[in-house]
């Protein structure tokens, strides 16, 4: 049964019922016809967030957010950067609502969010990106409370995503880590199925167990897709075990109040914290030393480097990266406000399965406004300034080759041939067009019947 994104919610429901027999046994055909992100809960939550976004526009909080972001960026703000600020704050506000509409731990659902604008099932879903969204990532949330017991059921298709992490966090905005389960520790059955238990008890021999505490608020799931053309997000569902809830789901007013609180915290966490302290405290056209953190959207198992750039039309930023044995890394370019722009039709990010390596295992990336013909070009989408957050994940237990490293050099485009290693991969216009077409088709697999 193929479910097309143009169907209505009723059509989706009928399609899911018809698809149930396919879920009974492993089937590569099922994975080829159905997006695991397309669930009844997903569509209902999207529609609820869109409805409440109209009911609760938070005009004063949006003004406060813009002021905080401008200060974190540093004054004066260029006209080019200012032209992107309204959209960034719109997406920040929508993300605050998305977190709130799926914020009731007595009625938990799986919700895909922090994504670019998209249309499916007759619904225009606006972007809800914030704080260095990664185009490789499928971000999903499940509300949790420490006193309840939950089971998360998953199903993998093929080899699955390049990296998977289940992070139990104590705050949906600062995202402080309470406990986590990594992809390398996840036990998956031969049929691609797995179950994760979440409660306050120790594992006591249970595999795939995450021990929660009274501080737990949310399970934050990341599926990193390395090869967009072939990798599929895991299908996920959640069930709260035990007695039925003693109260009804929260009212719109309660959800709106939580969304307002989320937005207030986001202004501090992402504007002051991520944009100001983590990013703009670094000198322009540099990156911080790779380090680990458990807050502000970073994984406790992840190593990251932050920076911001300003380039002239004839300049480029050359990044030289060493993996440190990471099973996954990504170099994404984001706009001045840490939002990914149009990562679908522009090569604004590259990971270890997309980029071309040198013979010694290192990688060189060129960030510039104009295409220099380098395979590992990172497109600023014509913007002269922006932000960077380089990530390394699935790192070995023991440090390899000095660990993750990245160097930065500002050069003239005309001087690139003298700076780049001799084995740098070069592409012509036809090859670039092919790569971009593959990129767009790969991304559309997430929300269309192209699986």
Q: SS3 string of the chain?
A: CCCCCCCCHHHHHHHHHHHHHHHCCCCHHHHCCCCCCCCHHHHHHHHHHHHHHHHCCCHHHHHHHHHHHHHHHCCCCCHHHHHHHHHHHHHHHHHHHHHHHCCCCCCCCCEEECCCCEEECCEEECCCCCCCCCCCEEEEEEECCCCCEEEEEEECCCCCCCEEEEEEECCCCCCCEEEEEECCCCCCCCCCEEEEEEECCCCCCCCCEEECCCCCCEEEEEEECCCCCCCCCCEEEEEEECCCCCCCCCCHHHHHHHHHHHHHHHHHHHHHHHHHHHHHCCCCCEECCCEECCCCCCCCCCEEEEEEEECCCCEEEEEEEECCCCCEEEEEEECCCCCCCCCCCCCCEEECCCCCCCCCCCEEEEEECCCCCECCEEECCCCCEEEEEEEEECCCCCCCCCCCEEEEEEEEHHHHHHHCCCCCCECCHHHHHHHHHHHHHHHHCCCCCCC
Residues linked to residue 349 through DSSP beta bridges, in sequence order: 332
pLDDT at position 34 is 72
For residues 391 and 242, give the distance between their C-alpha atoms in angstroms, rounded to a whole number.
39
pLDDT at position 295 is 54
The 10 Å CB-count burial string (b at 16+, else e) for 53-89 is beebebeebbebbbebbbebbeeebeeebeebbebbb
pLDDT at position 294 is 56
361 — alpha (psi -120 to 50), left (phi > 0) or beta? Answer: left
Higher pLDDT, 277 or 121: 277
Q: What are φ and ψ of residue 73, in 5° steps?
A: -65, -35
**126 and 50 in contact (C-beta within 8 Å)?**
yes
Confidence of residue 122 (pLDDT cuts 50, 70, 90): confident
Mean per-residue pLDDT, 110-133: 94
Residue with token string 């807050």: 295
Is the pLDDT confidence value at 49 over 80?
yes
Lowest mean pLDDT among 14-28, 51-65, 210-224: 14-28
**What is the per-residue pLDDT across 52-67, written as a single tens digit (0 to 9) for each?**
999 999 999 999 999 9
pTM of the model: 0.91
User: How many CB atoms neighbour CB 384 within 10 A?
Assistant: 16
**What is the per-residue pLDDT across 411-422, written as a single tens digit (0 to 9) for each?**
999 999 999 999
**What is the per-residue pLDDT across 78-93, written as a single tens digit (0 to 9) for each?**
999 999 999 999 999 9
| 218-224/235-241 β-pairing | unpaired
Q: What is the mean pLDDT of the chain?
A: 91
**115 and 129 in contact (C-beta within 8 Å)?**
yes
The 10 Å CB-count burial string (b at 16+, else e) for 143-158 is bbbbebebebebbbbe
Is the pLDDT confidence value at 292 over 90?
no
User: 209, 153, 147: which is closest to 39 by C-alpha?
Assistant: 153
Mean per-residue pLDDT, 351-356: 98
pLDDT at position 15 is 47
| 137-143/123-125 β-pairing | unpaired
Lowest mean pLDDT among 20-29, 95-104, 128-137: 20-29
């Amino acid at each position: 049964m193929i479910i097309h994104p143009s169907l209505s919610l009723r059509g989706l429901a009928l399609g899911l019922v018809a698809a149930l027999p396919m879920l009974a046994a492993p089937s590569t055909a099922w994975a080829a016809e159905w997006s695991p992100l397309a669930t009844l809960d997903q569509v209902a939550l999207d529609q609820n967030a869109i409805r409440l976004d109209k009911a609760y526009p938070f005009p004063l909080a949006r003004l406060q957010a813009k002021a905080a972001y401008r200060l974190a960026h540093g004054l004066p703000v260029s006209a080019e950067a200012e032209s992107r600020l309204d959209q960034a704050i719109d997406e920040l506000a929508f993300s605050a609502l998305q977190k709130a509409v799926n914020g009731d731990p007595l009625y938990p659902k799986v919700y895909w969010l922090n994504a670019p604008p998209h249309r499916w099932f007759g619904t225009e879903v606006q972007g809800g990106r914030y704080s260095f969204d990664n185009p490789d990532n499928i971000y999903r949330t499940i509300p949790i409370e420490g006193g309840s017991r939950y089971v998360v059921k998953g199903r993998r298709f093929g080899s699955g995503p390049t990296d998977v992490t289940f992070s139990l966090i104590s705050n949906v905005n600062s995202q402080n880590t309470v406990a986590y389960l990594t992809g390398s520790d996840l036990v998956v059955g031969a049929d691609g199925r797995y179950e994760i238990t979440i409660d306050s008890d120790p594992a006591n021999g249970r595999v795939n167990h995450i021990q929660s505490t009274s501080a737990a608020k949310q399970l934050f799931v990341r599926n990193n897709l390395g090869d967009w053309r072939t990798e599929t997000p895991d299908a996920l569902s959640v069930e709260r075990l035990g007695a039925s809830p003693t109260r009804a789901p929260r009212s719109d007013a309660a959800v709106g109040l939580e969304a307002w609180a989320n937005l207030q915290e986001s202004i501090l966490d992402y504007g002051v914290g991520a944009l100001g302290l983590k990013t703009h405290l670094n000198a322009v056209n540099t990156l911080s030393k790779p380090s680990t953190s458990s807050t502000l959207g970073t994984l406790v198992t992840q190593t990251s480097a932050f920076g911001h750039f300003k380039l002239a039309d004839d300049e480029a930023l050359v990044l030289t990266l060493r993996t440190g044995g990471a099973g996954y890394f990504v170099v994404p370019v984001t706009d001045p406000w840490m939002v990914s722009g149009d990562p679908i039709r522009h090569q604004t990010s590259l990971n270890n399965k997309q980029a071309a390596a040198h013979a010694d295992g290192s990688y060189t990336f060129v960030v510039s406004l104009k295409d220099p013909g380098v395979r590992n070009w990172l497109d600023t989408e014509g913007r002269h300034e922006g932000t960077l957050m380089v990530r390394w994940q699935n790192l070995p237990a023991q440090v390899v080759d000095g660990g993750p490293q990245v160097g930065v050099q500002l050069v003239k485009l005309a001087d690139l041939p003298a700076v780049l290693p001799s084995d740098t991969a070069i592409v012509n216009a036809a090859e670039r067009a092919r790569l971009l077409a593959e990129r767009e088709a790969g991304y559309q697999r997430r929300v269309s019947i192209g699986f």
